[in-house]
C-alpha cells in the first residue's frame, strides 16, 4: 500500500515536472500579450492614473464595442474608462476585478449582458487568460468560484501542453490589444455585417441564476457604496429583433434589479437599435451604432453626474 502511494505520488511529481518544462518552453511568446483580453492591463493602468472622480463603465464586450469613451469624457467632464472586455469572464471576475479600485465619488456604470442573469457564462479560455493577468482575483471571487476553477482546471494545463507545438492562437486584427484605445474602446471595426446575426432563441428563464446574479450585484453595490462611490445600471444594446423575442426575460431582469432599488437609467426596450447597427454578435455595435448609443448615454448620464456634483458641494 505504502509502496503504491509513493509510486503514484512519484508519477504525479513527474507530471508536475513535465508541466514546469512546458511552462518554461512556452515563456516569451508575445501572442498572449497581443490578445485583446490583455487590454485589461492597459485598462487598469488607465484606471489607476486617471484624475478623480472617475466615470467607470463595467460590463462585457457590449461596452468595448458599444461606446465612445472619449466623447463621453468630453461631454460629461469626467475622466472615463471603459473596463468592458468580455462577458465570458463571468460576473464574479468582472465585479471582483474592479471592486478594490473604486474610490470616493466615482460613478460606476454597470452595463451587464443579459446572459449573466441566465447562467454562469464564464468560459475557461477567457477566464483563465484573465486570471493569468490578475491572479489575485481568484481569491477576490470568493469560495463560490472554487468548484468552477477546479472543474475547469484542466484548461490551463491543456494550453501549456499545446503551446510549444502550436503556439497560442492568434486573434484577427479586430480582436487584438492594438485595436483598443487608451480608454478601453475598440478603435476600428467592420462597418457592415461580417456574419448573419442568428435568430434569437427563446430563453428559458432561470430564476435561481437571476437571483444569484442580482445578489452578487447588490453585494458589489454595497462594497462600492462603502468607498463613497455610486452605481447606476444602463442596459447593453441589443437588436430590436431580440427584444421582440426575449422581451419578457429582459423585463424580468429589469424588475428584479428595480426591486433591489438600483438606479436604472432607461429600460431594456429603450436600449435597442435596428439589427443593421450590429455585426459579429448581438452585442457588438458598428461605429454608427456606438455613436448613437454614446449620444444617448451622455444624455442619460449628465443629470446623474450633475446631481452627484451638487451633493458633493
Partner 1 sequence: MNFISLTYALFLGAVFLLYWRLPRRGQSLLILIASYVFYGWWDYRFCALIFISSIIDFSVGLALGRKFERRTRRALLAISLVANLGMLGFFKYFDFFRENLAQLGSAVGWHMDGVTLDIILPVGISFYTFQTMSYTIDVYRGHLKPTSAFVDYMAYVSFFPQLVAGPIERATSLLPQFLSERSFDLSEARDGLRRILWGVAKKLILADNLAVIVELVYGNPGAYSETKLVFATVCFAFQIYCDFSAYSDIAIGTAQLFGIKLMRNFAYPYFSQSVAEFWRRWHISLSTWFRDYVFIPLGGSRGKRRTMIVSMLITFVISGLWHGASWNFVIWGAINGLLIVPSALQKNPRRLTVKDVPGGESYFPSVWVALKIGLTFGFICLGWVFFRAETLQDAWSMVVRMLSFWSWTGGGETLNAGVSSRIMSMLLVVFVAVEWMQRREVHALCRLERWPMWTRWLLYTLILWLGIAVQPVRVGDFIYFQF
Q: Which of residues 6, 24, 25, 154 is near partner 1 by CB under 8 A?
A: 154
Does the footprint of partner 1 cover residue 125 (CB under 8 A)?
yes
Give the Cβ contact number of residue 33 at 10 Å: 11
Q: Which of residues 30, 48, 196, 204 is near partner 1 by CB under 8 A?
A: 204
Does the footprint of partner 1 cover residue 1 (CB under 8 A)?
yes
How many residues lie near partner 1 (CB under 8 A)? 25
Task: Output the smallest distance, CB 203 to partner 1, in A.
Answer: 12
Among residues 26, 17, 32, which one has the least CA distance to residue 164? 26
Cell numbers for 111, please give them: 452595463
The nearer residue to partner 1, 162 or 189, going by C-beta atoms, is 162
Does the footprint of partner 1 cover residue 194 (CB under 8 A)?
no
Does the footprint of partner 1 cover residue 167 (CB under 8 A)?
no
For 202, list phi and psi in degrees, rounded to 5.
-70, 130
Secondary structure in 3-state letters for the chain: CHHHHHHHHHHHHHHHHHHHHHHHHHCCCCHHHHEHHHHHHHHHHHHHHCCCCEEEEEECHHHHCCCCHHHHHHHHCCEEEECCCCHHHHHHHHHHHHHHHCCCCCEEEEECCHHHHCCCCCCHHHHHHHHHHCCCHHHHCCHHHHHHHHHCCHHHHHHHHHHHHHCCCCCCHHHEHHHECCCCCECCCCCCCCCCCCCCCCCCCCHHHHHHHHHHHHHHHHHHHHCCCEEEEECCCEEHHHHHHHHHHHHHHHHHHHHCCCEEECCCCCCEECHHHECCCCCCECHHHHHHHHHHHHHHHHHHHHHHHHHHC
Does the footprint of partner 1 cover residue 4 (CB under 8 A)?
yes
Which range in 14-22, 46-54, 71-79, 225-233 contacts partner 1 by CB under 8 A?
14-22
Does the footprint of partner 1 cover residue 21 (CB under 8 A)?
no
Does the footprint of partner 1 cover residue 13 (CB under 8 A)?
no
Q: Which of residues 161, 209, 269, 298 is near partner 1 by CB under 8 A?
A: 161
The nearer residue to partner 1, 13 or 41, going by C-beta atoms, is 13
Does the footprint of partner 1 cover residue 155 (CB under 8 A)?
yes
Which range in 79-87, 92-100, 106-114, 146-154 contacts partner 1 by CB under 8 A?
146-154
Q: Which of residues 101, 162, 177, 251 is near partner 1 by CB under 8 A?
A: 162
The nearer residue to partner 1, 101 or 162, going by C-beta atoms, is 162
Which range in 5-13, 23-31, 67-75, 137-145 contacts partner 1 by CB under 8 A?
5-13
Which range in 62-70, 120-128, 209-217, 296-304 contacts partner 1 by CB under 8 A?
120-128
* Footprint of partner 1 (CB under 8 A): 1, 3-5, 8, 11, 14-15, 18, 123-125, 147, 150-155, 157-158, 161-162, 165, 204
Amino acid at each position: 500500500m505504502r509502496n503504491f502511494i509513493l509510486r503514484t505520488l512519484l508519477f504525479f511529481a513527474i507530471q508536475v515536472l513535465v508541466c514546469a518544462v512546458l511552462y518554461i518552453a512556452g515563456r516569451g511568446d508575445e501572442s498572449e500579450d497581443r490578445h485583446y483580453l490583455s487590454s485589461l492591463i492597459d485598462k487598469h493602468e488607465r484606471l489607476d492614473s486617471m484624475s478623480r472622480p472617475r466615470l467607470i463603465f463595467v460590463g462585457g464586450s457590449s461596452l468595448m464595442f458599444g461606446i465612445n469613451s472619449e466623447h463621453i469624457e468630453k461631454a460629461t467632464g469626467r475622466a472615463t474608462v471603459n473596463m468592458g472586455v468580455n462577458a465570458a469572464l463571468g460576473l464574479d471576475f468582472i465585479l471582483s476585478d474592479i471592486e478594490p479600485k473604486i474610490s470616493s465619488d466615482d460613478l460606476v456604470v454597470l452595463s451587464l449582458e443579459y446572459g449573466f442573469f441566465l447562467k454562469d457564462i464564464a468560459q475557461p479560455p477567457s477566464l483563465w487568460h484573465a486570471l493569468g493577468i490578475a491572479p489575485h482575483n481568484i481569491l477576490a471571487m470568493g469560495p463560490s468560484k472554487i468548484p468552477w476553477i477546479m472543474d475547469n482546471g484542466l484548461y490551463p494545463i491543456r494550453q501549456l501542453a499545446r503551446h510549444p507545438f502550436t503556439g497560442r492562437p492568434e486573434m484577427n486584427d479586430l480582436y487584438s490589444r492594438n485595436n483598443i484605445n487608451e480608454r478601453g474602446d475598440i478603435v476600428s471595426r467592420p462597418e457592415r455585417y461580417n456574419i448573419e446575426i442568428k435568430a434569437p432563441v427563446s430563453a428559458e428563464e432561470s430564476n435561481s441564476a437571476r437571483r444569484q446574479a442580482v445578489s452578487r450585484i447588490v453585494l458589489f453595490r454595497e462594497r462600492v457604496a462603502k468607498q463613497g462611490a455610486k452605481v447606476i445600471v444602463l442596459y447593453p444594446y441589443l437588436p430590436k429583433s431580440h427584444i421582440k423575442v426575449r422581451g419578457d426575460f429582459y423585463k424580468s431582469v429589469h424588475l428584479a434589479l428595480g426591486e433591489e432599488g438600483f438606479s436604472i437609467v432607461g429600460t431594456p426596450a429603450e436600449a435597442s437599435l435596428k439589427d443593421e447597427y450590429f455585426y459579429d454578435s448581438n452585442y457588438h455595435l458598428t461605429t454608427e451604432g456606438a455613436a448613437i448609443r454614446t449620444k444617448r448615454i451622455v444624455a442619460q448620464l449628465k443629470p446623474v453626474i450633475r446631481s452627484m456634483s451638487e451633493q458633493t458641494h
